[in-house]
Amino acid sequence: AKLIKDENCGCVPLRKTRHLIKKKKDTTCELFLQKSTKGSVVLEHVFRHINLVEVDYFGLRYCDRNHQTYWLDPAKTLSEHKELINTGPPYTLYFGIKFYAEDPCKLKEEITRYQFFLQVKQDVLQGRLPCPINTAAQLGAYAIQAELGDYDPYKHTAGYVSEYRFVPDQKEELEEAI
């Protein structure tokens, strides 16, 4: 999904710079902003684009040329994020969870829970959040059920689980457990 900001929003005067916001599920939100735009304005646009209400858990991060990760500071302008400015244009920011809820059951919005699900799924898949095989099997089963519904032997042929990736170096043993 692409989002091009218009002149009326106050963040696209004559000199504009392209920013790509990478969201979960490989979607991209494209913004054209001034370097004088505050981080809070960028965050508001992204949150509005996703229809996110419980915003305190989320942020935008970026990497410098040495792959060091930083969070976009809402109080600073884009030009004050020196590590970001040295990487572009275009500048790429990644949407993500800054911290997890102590009790995920208390998250009120479905979209917030879904964003948490996508983040955990991605963190496990990329090895940032290691988990034992029995936990990975249970999480994988939940993910497939959420995606495809309850198991139906007429719809789900043998090996259908292997079409999905849940952990790095996924083995057949895990797929059978799912």
Every domain of the chain and the residues it spans? 7-97, 104-177
pLDDT tens column, 34-77? 888 999 999 999 999 889 999 999 999 988 888 889 999 999 99
The verdict on domain 104-177 having CATH code 1.20.80.10 is yes
Instruction: Map residue 21 onto helix, strand or coil.
Output: strand
- How many angstroms separate the first and last alpha carbons of the chain? 32
Burial 26-38 (b: 16+ CB within 10 A, else e): eeebebbbbbebb
pTM for this structure?
0.74
pLDDT range class, residue 14, cuts 50, 70, 90: very low
Q: How high is the pLDDT of residue 15?
A: 38
DSSP designation for 160: G
- The arrangement of secondary structure in 7-97, i.e. its CATH architecture, is Roll (3.10)
In whole angstroms, what separates CA 79 from the centre of its chain? 23
Most confident of 23-27, 55-59, 126-130, 171-175: 55-59
